[in-house]
Amino acid sequence: MDQILSLAATNLLSPIILSFALGVAASLARSDLSVPEAAAKALSIYLLFAIGFKGGVSVAAHGIDAKLGLTLLAGIILSAGLPIIAFALLKVMTGLSRLDAAAVAAHYGSISIVTFVAATSVLQSSGIASEGYMVAVAAAMEAPAILSALWLITRGGGDQRMDGDLWREILLNGSIVLLVGSFFIGWITGEKGLEEISSFIVAPFKGVLCLFLLDMGLVAGRGLRDRSDVLRPGVLAFGVLMPIIGSTLGAVFGLVLGLSTGGVALLMVLSASASYIAVPAAMRVALPEANPSIYLTLSLGVTFPFNLTLGIPLYVAVASALTGG
C-alpha cells in the first residue's frame, strides 16, 4: 500500500500530470489557452514515432520469442472480450440504450495510445523494464473491440453500417501506420539507429509529452465543461470501474504469459484504457445514431484522467507486487 501511495504521489506531482491538470483547469476556467491544431498533430506524430521506434529497438536488442505471438493473441482476445463485459456492466449500471451501451463498450475494449505512452514514461522513470513489443500489442488491440460492439448490435437485431472503406480506415489509420512503421524502423536499425537520432527522440520526449498532455487536458476539460450533463452517477461510476476490471484481466493474462513487471503493467494499462480517436470515428460511421457526447465524455473526460493520475501508478504497483519486481 505504501508503494502504491508513494508511486501515486510521485506520479501526481510529475510535470506530465501537472501539465494535464493545467490544461483541465484552464479549460474549466474558460481560459483562451489553446494548442494550435497543427501543433497538436505534430506533437502526436512525434510521440507515436518515438514510442514505436524505441519499442522496435528494444525488440532488436532482446530478440523475439514465442511470447510475442501469444501476447499479441492475448491483446486481441482482451480487446474483443472487454466490450462484452463493458456492455453487460452498462446495462446493469446505467440506463443507456442498447445502441449507446454498445458504442461505449467498443471504446473500452480498444486502447488509448496516449495513456500507453504516459505509462511507458512512468516505467522508464521508475527504472522498470518492459517488453519492446508491447507497442505492437497496443496496435493489435485497436480494432477487435469495434467488431465485438457491432456483433452486440447485430445480435440484438440492430442496424449497423460497417463497410470495406471503414475497415480500411480503421486498420490503416495514421496512428497505427506510424506506430507499427516506426516500430519496424527501430527493429531494423536497432541500437545504431537509435544512437543516430537519440538526441531527437529520447531527450525531448518527456517535454513533448508534457505539451501534448496540456492539449489533452484542454480537450478533456472542455468536454467536461460542456457535456457533463451526460455523466449521470451510473455512467460516471462505470468510467472508473471498467478500467479496474480491464486492468485486472490484463494482469491475469500478463502473469499467465510470464511477462516482465513492465510488460504486465503495460498490458494492464492497455486493458484499462479507452479509445477516444479510432473508435469514436468508427462509431460515427457504423452506429451514427449512438450519442457521441456519452462515449467521448466518458472516455476522454473520466477514464483517461483516472488512468493518467491514479490508474497508472496503481497498475505499476500491482504489477510489481504480483511479479515480485
Give least dist CB 176 to another protein, A: 13
68-to-3, 17, 136, 151, 157 alpha-carbon distances in Å: 30, 31, 9, 28, 38
Give least dist CB 304 to another protein, A: 10
Considering the complex, state which of residue 195 and residue 226 has its C-beta at the smaller distance from another protein.
Answer: 226
Considering the complex, state which of residue 130 and residue 291 has its C-beta at the smaller distance from another protein.
Answer: 291
Contact between residue 25 and residue 95 where contact means Cβ atoms under 8 Å apart: no
Give least dist CB 186 to another protein, A: 25
How is residue 83 written as a grid cell? 466490450
Considering the complex, state which of residue 91 and residue 169 has its C-beta at the smaller distance from another protein.
Answer: 169
Contact between residue 276 and residue 107 where contact means Cβ atoms under 8 Å apart: yes
**Cα distance between residue 298 and residue 178, in whole Å:** 26
Considering the complex, state which of residue 147 and residue 285 has its C-beta at the smaller distance from another protein.
Answer: 285
Give least dist CB 218 to another protein, A: 7
Look at phi and psi of residue 127 and say left if phi exceeds 0, alpha if psi is from -120 to 50, else beta: left
Considering the complex, state which of residue 9 and residue 39 has its C-beta at the smaller distance from another protein.
Answer: 39
Give least dist CB 297 to another protein, A: 10
**Cα distance between residue 78 and residue 109, in whole Å:** 7
With 0-12 / 13-18 / 19 or more C-beta atoms within 10 angstroms meaning exposed / middle / buried, residue 193 is middle
Considering the complex, state which of residue 54 and residue 222 has its C-beta at the smaller distance from another protein.
Answer: 222
Considering the complex, state which of residue 54 and residue 227 has its C-beta at the smaller distance from another protein.
Answer: 227
**Cα distance between residue 42 and residue 29, in whole Å:** 26
Give least dist CB 292 to another protein, A: 6
- Using DSSP's 3-state secondary structure scheme, residue 31 falls into coil
Give least dist CB 280 to another protein, A: 4
Give least dist CB 219 to another protein, A: 5
Q: At what angle do helices 261-272 and 233-257 cross, to 10 degrees?
A: 150
What is the contact surface with another protein in residues (CB under 8 A)? 34, 36-37, 165, 216, 218-219, 222-223, 226-227, 276-278, 280-281, 283-285, 288-289, 292-293, 296, 300
Considering the complex, state which of residue 41 and residue 62 has its C-beta at the smaller distance from another protein.
Answer: 41
CA atoms within 13 A on the CB side of 125: 17
Residue that has been written with the C-alpha cell 460511421 in this structure: 285
Report angle CA 228, 230, 235 to the nearest 5 degrees.
Answer: 105
Residues 6+ apart with CB under 8 A from 5: none
